[in-house]
Amino acid sequence: MSDPINGPTYAMWQSVQYSRYNYIDNEHSSNEDVVRLAIIARHICPDKKLFDNWLRHILKRCIELFPYIKLSNKPVIPRQFFFEKDYNYQSADHIKIINEFLSSLNYKENETLNSPEIMKEEGFQGTPYKYEPQ
């Protein structure tokens, strides 16, 4: 039996927590966070080949669209970019799309989401569940 404190499940939970804290601290574009989450997603995906092909395709698109971007110019990338083959990044209204998604979230029905009050208490800057570019 594996040790629950040092086992793979604990490591995955810890990676998700790191990503959560980095997001709260406005460090949500950390390469380490992305790699951690991709490893977790691949681990739980029943079809590794399908996941690998999807990831290869997404990384290729990202490299083409965002070859190098300074941290102060972080691109806004809606989830459709990753899951809709025909999504046209150059012509889409990213802010509108992201705000439509955020407004669809319901923290009262989803226990994994914090209320706006708790988000503010924990140091969230801006308006909870609304994307406001700076």
Once rounded to an integer, what is the mean pLDDT over residues 15-41? Answer: 66
Confidence of residue 128 (pLDDT cuts 50, 70, 90): very high
Helix, strand, coil % in the chain, rounded to nearest 5? 55, 0, 45
pLDDT beyond 50 at 93: yes
Band (pLDDT 50/70/90 cuts) for residue 41 is confident
Which of residues 68 and 27 earns the better pLDDT score? 68
**Confidence grade of residue 16 (pLDDT, cut at 50, 70, 90):** low
Percent of residues, the chain, with pLDDT higher than 70: 68
Q: Which residue has the tokens 């802010």?
A: 95
pLDDT band per the 50, 70, 90 thresholds, residue 12 = low
